[in-house]
């Protein structure tokens, strides 16, 4: 264990910003529910009606958790935040453990570090310690922020504790996963799958009330019933599970070679038929599939609210203003949902647009460009993934929305309505990709600024009307110029203009890439 | 064999596959190449030597059109490597100094990908090279060691039907057995009248393989020519025993570091003046004589040494 302290300090130093954002994000996720619930309902009677409607909505229960004390602010906070909060803590733990164990081994840096006077278990124990610190901090901040808002003491402690314990359980899962394979991506895949299964198990369990939720770490946290007659004994389950997982993970680590996984690396094909285009798709396939599924599920959950929009969203002015609704709240909500899906799907688009830069940075482009493959051809392979992948991801979200809506309401017209409403939004999303391409081609060192473009669009969309932004600022976002389909009829003029601007920026970026030095290591 | 003068004046020949003159390249305020000259003739194996950071990899990347020259002319097969990169690349294969592979692609897949991008592989040669280099093509990129990653790139390059190989320290991760295989492969390649630009630190390899060498330092070529030419530019060590007490040797042109101990004589002589020095020595009756031509190592040390810049500019 020699050197554990040094590792802990180094990891905390390396991770300080990452941890800051994760912990802040998790805390805001919980805290923000409280004022938003208070602002949504103008009277307790309205609140009671909404709560009754929510309790009967199977889709919402599947998304969030068992309906308890929904006509109280605390009950709403717990209901709306705990399932997502558990996923946030799980992902944070996974990344902390992964980046200091398996990723270091895969890169070979671990070897250099291990050649110094450090104990065999020092780096791994330090990674666990950092993950534990992060989960405890997030739990404590959630408790303190909700106490500060004036919610009940027992419930606030329970909800923070539940978050910490769930996060620790997933830390244990990540630790075991890191011992199984020799690839970091595979380790993230396994841990992510466990988190996903935990989420689905509790969704089925919460809807059918057949006890399945007791098999899910997320369900364990929710079984503590914050703000709804707290139970404390369920806390024992994640504590025991974490202890078992950590012991198992350390035992596996003790039995394997550094750099190897418990599962021997399988040999792959000795021959390949790939082309540059095929390679671009192969490298990005995981991302396209993951985002498509994720955004589809997001759409499904929006759609499954069905016609209960009014009851759930309340009829306060704030709601109406956010949705820019003049008349039909339900139609306005779904038009807003389409924009939300488009903005979230932009995450895929920008990361995909920056993938060629990542390949360049990793030094994998040099050998390819020293063949008869023109630069333009190499880049076009990735551009094709970005463009087609964006269409796939966005339409998957809209299809999920239509499917969810149709299942809940029986309105089969929804199948076509929402995908059609999504089509115009492909243009502004691709404009964000074009900004990334321009930066990549002309000033690659500033390419990360492409994410700022998305941030601007999100802020304008959510706060532009609410905070009365100046018109020029609202106009900066390409999303502002489009009709709010399907609440309004599509206007194709602005769509064409946005698409042309996107094409011009993208081509300029591609020309820039052809004219600049390839980044070399 | 071209004389010293021809080497120094850098005559442009029509059949040069590579011809670089006065190449400048800087990155921000760092001057990487400062008027570099380099020419590689068709059918020759050209050694490209220089200390770390001298600009070898930068030169190669400019030659491949990955980096843009700030000034100077660069011709590859008589064409412009920046403008006609893809077209010219059909005729060459490149092995980078740092071979980075995709973690999820197997070595075999990478060989086929690069081969296809170059315009096709010789199937028989591919199989033969994989066997000779003892490469397991079914392993994933992340599982290869540095040497094995290099083998992947070497097999892909050597199995392609090209006129020129551009190799950037291709054997730095290979074991001696694999180095020997590499040497054989380059011999075979050269026997077919094709050309190689070989950047390397392994002097024995350069001495064994290369027809001509260029030594660069701080972004400039400080010496270029056949090994024989370069040896002319340096000194030969002479040790002799003579019958009578020698005298007057100090005054001879080209003789340095003279030591006379009784009948034993040790000195260094500029290789051009070796003949006259031996004539002079003969007057005292030579009993034994050993002369040591300069090794590439000495050439190298001479140009890498701290005083090299001063000599190069002199």
Contacts of B113 in chain A (CB under 8 A): 272, 274-276, 279, 368
Residues B216 and B87 in one domain: yes
Domain range spanning residue B253? Answer: 235-293
B70 neighbors B26 (Cβ within 8 angstroms): yes
What is the reported pLDDT for B309?
46
Mutate to test the interface with A, among B95, B100, B169 (most CBs of A within 10 A): B100
Contacts of B102 in chain A (CB under 8 A): 279, 283, 364
B292 CA to chain A: closest CA distance, Å?
42
- Residues for chain B: how many in total? 314
CA distance A93 to A99: 10
Helices A236-255 and A153-180 pack at an angle, to 10 degrees, of 20
By Cβ distance, the residue of A183, A270, A374 closest to B108 is A270
By Cβ distance, the residue of B95, B100, B117 closest to A373 is B117
Q: Which of B174, B202, B228 is the last residue of a domain?
A: B228
Residues B59 and B137 in one domain: yes
Task: Flag whether residue B101 sits within 8 Å of chain A, measured between CB atoms.
Answer: yes
Least confident residue range of A156-170, A451-465, A486-500 = A451-465
B208-229 per-position pLDDT tens digit: 899 999 999 889 988 888 887 7
Q: Is B312 exposed, middle or buried (0-12, 13-18, 19+ CB in 10 A)?
A: middle
- In this prediction, residue B306 has a pLDDT band, given cuts at 50, 70 and 90, of low
**8 Å CB contact of A366 and B96:** yes
Buried b (16+ CB within 10 A) or exposed e, A333-346: bbbbbbbbbbbbbb
- B residues 52-81 lying closer than 8 A (beta carbon) to A: 57, 61, 64-68
Average pLDDT estimate for A442-449: 93
Average pLDDT estimate for A323-348: 84
Instruction: Evaluate if residue B14 carries a pLDDT over 60.
Output: no
Q: Which residue of B has its CA nearest to A186?
A: B104
**8 Å CB contact of B94 and A375:** no
What is the reported pLDDT for B52?
84
B79 lies in a domain? yes
Task: Flag whether residue B197 sits within 8 Å of chain A, measured between CB atoms.
Answer: no
What is the reported pLDDT for B206?
87
Contacts of A372 in chain B (CB under 8 A): 86-87, 89-90, 117-119
Q: Which of B203, B228, B253 is the last residue of a domain?
A: B228
- In this prediction, residue B190 has a pLDDT band, given cuts at 50, 70 and 90, of very high
CA distance A156 to A168: 19
CA distance B250 to B270: 14
A291 CA to chain B: closest CA distance, Å?
20
By Cβ distance, the residue of A106, A371, A377 closest to B142 is A106
- In this prediction, residue B1 has a pLDDT band, given cuts at 50, 70 and 90, of very low
Residues B118 and B67 in one domain: yes
Mutate to test the interface with B, among A366, A443, A444 (most CBs of B within 10 A): A366
Tokens of A382: 């990735």
Q: What percent of chain B has pLDDT over 70?
A: 91
Residues B205 and B265 in one domain: no
Tell me the CATH number at B193.
Answer: 3.40.50.300
Instruction: Evaluate if residue A486 carries a pLDDT over 80.
Output: yes
**8 Å CB contact of B68 and A515:** yes
CA distance A89 to A91: 6
What is the reported pLDDT for B313?
44
Contacts of B92 in chain A (CB under 8 A): 370
**8 Å CB contact of B118 and A283:** no
Contacts of B197 in chain A (CB under 8 A): none
A283-296 per-position pLDDT tens digit: 999 899 989 998 99
Contacts of B153 in chain A (CB under 8 A): 367
Instruction: Evaluate if residue A321 carries a pLDDT over 70.
Output: no
- In this prediction, residue B133 has a pLDDT band, given cuts at 50, 70 and 90, of very high
B193 CA to chain A: closest CA distance, Å?
21
Task: Flag whether residue B170 sits within 8 Å of chain A, measured between CB atoms.
Answer: no
Tell me the pairing of strands B255-261 and B264-270: antiparallel
B186 neighbors B209 (Cβ within 8 angstroms): yes
Task: Flag whether residue B118 sits within 8 Å of chain A, measured between CB atoms.
Answer: yes
Of A15, A452, B261, nearest to A460 by C-alpha is A452
Q: For A477-507, give the DSSP string.
A: SGGGGS--TTTS---HHHHHHHHHHHHHHHH
Residues B248 and B203 in one domain: no
What is the reported pLDDT for B5?
38
Q: What percent of chain A has pLDDT over 70?
A: 97
Partners of B21 in the beta sheet?
B73
B60 lies in a domain? yes
CA distance B38 to B219: 11
CA distance A267 to A61: 44
Radius of gyration from C-alpha coordinates of chain B: 23
By Cβ distance, the residue of A269, A282, A371 closest to B114 is A371
Q: Is A380 exposed, middle or buried (0-12, 13-18, 19+ CB in 10 A)?
A: middle
CA A366 to chain centre: 33
Average pLDDT estimate for B168-179: 91
Residues B84 and B131 in one domain: yes
**8 Å CB contact of B106 and A268:** yes
Question: Chain-wide mean pLDDT for chain B?
Answer: 86
What is the reported pLDDT for A152?
96
Q: What percent of chain A has pLDDT over 90?
A: 66
Residues B239 and B220 in one domain: no
Average pLDDT estimate for A209-238: 95
Residues 6+ apart with CB under 8 A from A143: A156, A157, A159, A160, A161
Contacts of A373 in chain B (CB under 8 A): 86, 89, 117
C-alpha torsion sign, points B247, B251, B254, B255:
positive
Residues B173 and B279 in one domain: no
What is the reported pLDDT for A326?
58
CA distance B197 to B224: 13
Q: For A354-368, give the DSSP string.
A: THHHHHHHTT-SHHH
Instruction: Evaluate if residue A204 carries a pLDDT over 90.
Output: no
Q: Which of B228, B255, B273 is the last residue of a domain?
A: B228
B264-290 per-position pLDDT tens digit: 999 888 878 888 888 888 888 899 999
Tokens of A82: 């705990």
**8 Å CB contact of B112 and A274:** yes
Contacts of B143 in chain A (CB under 8 A): 182, 265
Residues B213 and B265 in one domain: no
By Cβ distance, the residue of A106, A272, A521 closest to B109 is A272
- In this prediction, residue A78 has a pLDDT band, given cuts at 50, 70 and 90, of very high
Residues B153 and B196 in one domain: yes
Residues 6+ apart with CB under 8 A from B247: none
Residues 6+ apart with CB under 8 A from A106: A182, A183, A184, A259, B103, B142
What is the reported pLDDT for B108?
94
Of A356, A377, A273, nearest to B116 by C-alpha is A273
Residues B160 and B270 in one domain: no
Torsion angles phi and psi, residue B100, rounded to 5: -105, 125
Tokens of A310: 């009014």
Helix (H, G, I), strand (E, B) or coil at B164: strand
Answer whether the bond into residue A486 is a cis peptide, omega within 30°. Answer: yes
**A53, containing H or E segment:** helix A44-55
Q: For A267-332, give the DSSP string.
A: P--S-----HHHHHHHHHHHHHHHHHHHHHHHHHHHHTTTTTHHHHH---HHHHHHTT-SS-HHHH
What is the reported pLDDT for B11?
46
B88-126 per-position pLDDT tens digit: 999 999 999 889 999 889 999 999 999 988 888 999 999
Question: Chain-wide mean pLDDT for chain A?
Answer: 91
Average pLDDT estimate for A311-339: 73
Tokens of A116: 């110094």
Q: Is A94 exposed, middle or buried (0-12, 13-18, 19+ CB in 10 A)?
A: buried
Instruction: Evaluate if residue B311 carries a pLDDT over 70.
Output: no
What is the reported pLDDT for A425?
97
Tokens of A66: 């068992």
Q: Which residue of B has its CA nearest to A364?
A: B100
Instruction: Evaluate if residue A87 carries a pLDDT over 90.
Output: yes
B160 lies in a domain? yes
Name residue, tokens 């609440």: A487
CA distance A230 to A158: 7
What is the reported pLDDT for B38?
95
Task: Flag whether residue B236 sits within 8 Å of chain A, measured between CB atoms.
Answer: no
Residues B102 and B250 in one domain: no
Contacts of A369 in chain B (CB under 8 A): 64-66, 85
Instruction: Evaluate if residue A370 carries a pLDDT over 70.
Output: yes
Domain tally, chain B: 2
Tell me the CATH number at B275.
Answer: 3.30.70
Residues 6+ apart with CB under 8 A from A269: B106, B108, B109, B138
Cβ contacts from A onto B, under 8 A? 128
Of B152, B195, B199, B207, nearest to B172 by C-alpha is B199
Instruction: Evaluate if residue A341 carries a pLDDT over 70.
Output: yes
**8 Å CB contact of A265 and B139:** yes
Q: Which residue of B has its CA nearest to A372?
A: B86
């Amino acid at each position: 264990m020699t050197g554990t302290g040094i590792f802990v300090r180094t990891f905390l130093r390396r991770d300080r910003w990452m941890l800051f954002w994760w912990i802040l994000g998790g805390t805001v996720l919980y805290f923000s529910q409280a004022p938003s619930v208070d602002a949504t309902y103008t009277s307790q009677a309205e609140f009671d009606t909404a709560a009754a409607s929510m309790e009967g909505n199977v889709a919402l229960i599947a998304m969030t958790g068992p309906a308890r004390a929904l006509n109280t602010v605390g009950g709403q906070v717990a209901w709306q935040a705990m399932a997502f909060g558990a996923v946030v803590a799980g992902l944070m733990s996974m990344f902390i453990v992964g980046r200091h164990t398996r990723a270091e081994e895969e890169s070979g840096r671990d070897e250099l570090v291990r050649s110094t006077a450090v104990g065999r278990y020092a780096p791994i124990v330090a990674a666990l310690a950092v993950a534990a610190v992060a989960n405890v901090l997030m739990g404590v901040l959630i408790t303190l922020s909700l106490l500060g808002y004036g919610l009940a003491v027992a419930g606030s402690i329970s909800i923070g504790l539940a978050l910490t314990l769930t996060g620790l359980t997933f830390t244990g899962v990540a630790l075991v996963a890191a011992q199984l394979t020799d690839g970091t991506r595979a380790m993230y895949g396994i841990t992510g799958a466990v988190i996903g299964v935990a989420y689905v198990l509790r969704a089925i369990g919460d809807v059918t009330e057949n006890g399945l939720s007791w098999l899910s770490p997320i369900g364990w946290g929710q079984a503590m019933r914050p703000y709804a007659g707290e139970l404390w004994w369920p806390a024992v389950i994640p504590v025991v599970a974490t202890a078992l997982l950590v012991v198992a993970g350390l035992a596996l680590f003790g039995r394997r070679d550094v750099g190897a996984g418990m599962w021997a690396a399988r040999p792959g094909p000795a021959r390949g038929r790939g082309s540059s285009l095929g390679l671009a798709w192969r490298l990005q396939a995981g991302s396209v599939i993951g985002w498509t599924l994720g955004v589809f599920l997001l759409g499904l959950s929006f759609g499954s609210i069905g016609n209960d929009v009014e009851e759930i969203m309340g009829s306060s002015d704030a709601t109406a203003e956010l949705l820019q609704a003049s008349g039909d709240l339900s139609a306005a909500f779904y038009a807003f949902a389409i924009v939300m899906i488009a903005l979230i799907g932009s995450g895929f688009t920008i990361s995909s647009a920056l993938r060629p830069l990542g390949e360049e940075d990793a030094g994998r482009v040099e050998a390819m460009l020293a063949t008869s493959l023109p630069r333009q051809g190499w880049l076009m392979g990735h551009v094709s993934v970005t463009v087609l992948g964006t269409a796939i991801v966005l339409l998957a979200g809209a299809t999920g929305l239509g499917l969810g809506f149709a299942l809940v309401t029986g309105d089969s017209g929804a199948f076509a309505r929402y995908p059609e409403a999504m089509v115009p939004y492909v243009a502004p999303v691709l404009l964000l990709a074009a900004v990334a391409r321009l930066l990549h081609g002309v000033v690659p060192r500033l390419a990360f600024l492409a994410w700022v473009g998305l941030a601007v669009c999100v802020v304008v969309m959510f706060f532009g009307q609410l905070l009365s932004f100046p018109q020029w600022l609202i106009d900066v976002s390409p999303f502002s110029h489009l009709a709010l389909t399907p609440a309004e009829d599509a206007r194709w003029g602005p769509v064409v203009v946005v698409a042309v601007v996107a094409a011009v920026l993208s081509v300029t970026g591609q020309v820039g890439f052809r004219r600049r030095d390839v980044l070399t290591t | 064999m071209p004389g010293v003068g021809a080497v120094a004046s850098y005559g442009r020949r029509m059949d040069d596959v590579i011809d670089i003159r006065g190449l400048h390249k800087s990155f921000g305020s760092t001057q990487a190449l400062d008027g570099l000259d380099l020419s590689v003739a068709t059918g020759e194996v050209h050694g490209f030597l220089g200390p770390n950071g001298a600009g070898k990899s930068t030169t190669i990347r400019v030659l491949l059109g990955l980096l843009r020259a700030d000034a100077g002319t660069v011709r590859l097969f008589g064409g412009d490597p920046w403008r006609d990169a893809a077209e010219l690349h059909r005729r060459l294969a490149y092995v980078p100094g740092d071979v980075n592979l995709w973690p999820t692609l197997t070595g075999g897949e990478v060989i086929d990908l690069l081969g296809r991008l170059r315009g096709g592989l010789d199937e028989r040669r591919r199989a033969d090279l994989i066997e000779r280099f003892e490469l397991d093509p079914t392993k994933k990129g992340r599982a290869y060691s540095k040497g094995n990653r290099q083998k992947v790139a070497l097999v892909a390059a050597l199995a392609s039907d090209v006129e020129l190989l551009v190799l950037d320290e291709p054997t730095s991760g290979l074991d001696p057995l694999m180095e020997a295989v590499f040497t054989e492969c380059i011999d075979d390649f050269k026997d077919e009248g094709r050309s190689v630009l070989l950047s390397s630190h392994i002097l024995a390899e350069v001495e064994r393989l290369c027809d001509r060498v260029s030594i660069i330092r701080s972004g400039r070529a400080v010496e270029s020519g056949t090994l024989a030419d370069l040896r002319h530019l340096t000194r030969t060590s002479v040790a002799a025993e003579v019958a009578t007490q020698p005298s007057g040797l100090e005054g001879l042109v080209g003789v340095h570091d003279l030591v006379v101990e009784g009948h034993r004589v040790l000195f260094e002589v500029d290789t051009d003046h070796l003949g006259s020095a031996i004539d002079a020595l003969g007057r005292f009756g030579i009993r034994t004589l050993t002369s040591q031509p300069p090794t590439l190592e000495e050439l190298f040390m001479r140009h890498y040494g701290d005083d090299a810049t001063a000599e190069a500019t002199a």
